[in-house]
Amino acid sequence: MPKRSLQTGIAYHGNRMPSHVREDMKEIAKADMDIVVHMLSHTDWRRHKNVMKDIFAITEDAGMEVWVDNWGLAGTPGDRSQFLCFHPGNNLIYSNGELHPNICLNSPEFRQFTKDWLDAVAEIGGKTVFWDEPHLPAKAVPDGEGHYYTCTCPRCKKLFEEKYNRPMPLLMDKDTEQFRTDTIIDYFREMTEYSHNLGLKNVIVVMLSAHIGLNLDSVEQICSLPYIENIGSDPYWYHRRDEEFNPYGFVYEGTKKNLDVCTKYNKEHNLWIQTYGVPYGREEEIIVATDAAYDAGARCILGWGYRGSESNDYRSDNPEKTWAITKEAFRRIRDRERNAILEENRKKFLK
């Protein structure tokens, strides 16, 4: 289908009944959206694969593009990964020795697991892979300074020592931060090349936070990967409590930062609006944030998630109102885009 100058979309999960999906896709299409992001978790892959094939087809039949999310494949964000049930000993390990339930990206078994998942995506009709918030966890030292970090498993320790000619330190430093970024980059270099060879498009979203291994401050290297075509971010704001906080400015600045990276490396973009965890009485901020993203230049704007993410514990306090406001926010920028195109045509032909 031809790509519009402005694309909007929504993340959809929590339902695997095609009869219900069909009605929901009609509703999303009626809201004039272009993209639906569907999760394909390990459970979906193993228990709902043919159902997901139907869901992808239903979405496309409704006139929308499907992005397939690697939801929980390596752990959070998303579900807890089931990979460790079959391949124990591949956990992330904090530098203080604590285990984390996510998976080490340097694990050869996990890399093969990801490739098997990509085979399944292609088999059931996926066309675009949405790599969701890649990161390696770190945590502040309690009552102290610095951060404990992942991954410091024996495999990663060996790789670090070979590269830096010293043992991994207890607290994160410049070398360990770079090592973590390099780990993520190397994983995606291999996975996106494999995905590309299957005929799939690669889209990625990275967080704005510090000390996570890959964010918009450390995204330069991933931009050089030839098979990542679209880079996005998610300037979510509802966790902010300070009275001086301005959601318009926060989203605008985050969007500009995202677009500057994409322009520099000639990549497409995706920008996410928070439509989950919305407190009572603050639904209108979705309109403010969406306008901010549009004003900053974003033209691929999506919401997480459908109907205020009511199928999750992180749902909005009033999912019905949140969904209504989400549709209104996207309708407003759609109208602005149409009016701008119409005005440009008038200038050309009604001189």
Residue 236: closest CA among 217, 219, 263, 255: 255
Burial of 350 (0-12, 13-18, 19+ CB in 10 A): exposed
Q: Is the pLDDT of residue 85 over 70?
A: yes
* Residue range of the domain that includes 215: 7-77+108-135+177-349
Residue 2's pLDDT band, with cuts at 50, 70 and 90, is low
Residue 312's pLDDT band, with cuts at 50, 70 and 90, is very high
Classify residue 69: in a domain, yes or no: yes
Classify residue 95: in a domain, yes or no: no
Which amino acid, one-letter code, is at 53? K
Give the DSSP per-residue string, 84-138: HHHSTT-EEE-TTS-EEEEE-TT-HHHHHHHHHHHHHHHHTT--EEEEE-----E
Indicate the length of the chain as a whole number: 351
Phi, psi (degrees; rounded to nearest 5) at 229: -100, -20
Cα Dmax for the chain: 72
Give me the number of domains the chain comprises: 1
- Let me know: does 52 contact 15? Beta carbons within 8 Å: no
Phi, psi (degrees; rounded to nearest 5) at 131: -80, 115
Please tell me the number of Cα atoms within 13 Å of 301 on its side-chain side: 34
Classify residue 186: in a domain, yes or no: yes
pLDDT at 78: 81
Show the DSSP H helices in the chain as ranges.
18-30, 42-47, 49-61, 83-86, 108-123, 154-164, 174-197, 220-223, 247-265, 285-295, 319-349
Could you give the 3-state DSSP secondary structure of residue 278?
coil
Q: In the predicted model, what is the mean pLDDT of residues 145-162?
A: 97
Residue 195: closest CA among 229, 239, 235, 150: 229
- Let me know: does 325 contact 284? Beta carbons within 8 Å: yes
Residue 210's pLDDT band, with cuts at 50, 70 and 90, is confident
208 vs 265, which has greater pLDDT? 265
Average pLDDT, the chain: 95
Q: In the predicted model, what is the mean pLDDT of residues 162-175?
A: 97
pLDDT at 1: 53
pLDDT at 170: 97
320 is written with which tokens? Answer: 């019905």
Report the percentage of the chain scoring pLDDT > 70: 99
**Cis check: omega of the bond before 262, within 30 degrees of 0:** no
pLDDT at 220: 83
pLDDT at 95: 98
Classify residue 165: in a domain, yes or no: no
Q: Is the pLDDT of residue 204 over 90?
A: yes
Dist CA 143 CA 324 (whole Å): 44
Classify residue 268: in a domain, yes or no: yes
Residue 255's pLDDT band, with cuts at 50, 70 and 90, is very high
Classify residue 1: in a domain, yes or no: no
Classify residue 150: in a domain, yes or no: no
Dist CA 30 CA 1 (whole Å): 17
Question: pLDDT by residue (tens digit) across 260-269?
Answer: 999 999 999 9
From residue 95, alpha-carbon distances to 137, 173, 177, 182, 248 in Å are: 11, 12, 13, 17, 38
Classify residue 101: in a domain, yes or no: no
CATH of the domain at 320: 3.20.20.80
The pTM of this model reads 0.95
**Cis check: omega of the bond before 89, within 30 degrees of 0:** no
Category of 307 on φ-ψ map: left (φ > 0), alpha (ψ -120 to 50) or beta: left
Question: pLDDT by residue (tens digit) across 174-197?
Answer: 999 999 999 999 999 999 999 999
Q: Is the pLDDT of residue 241 over 80?
A: no
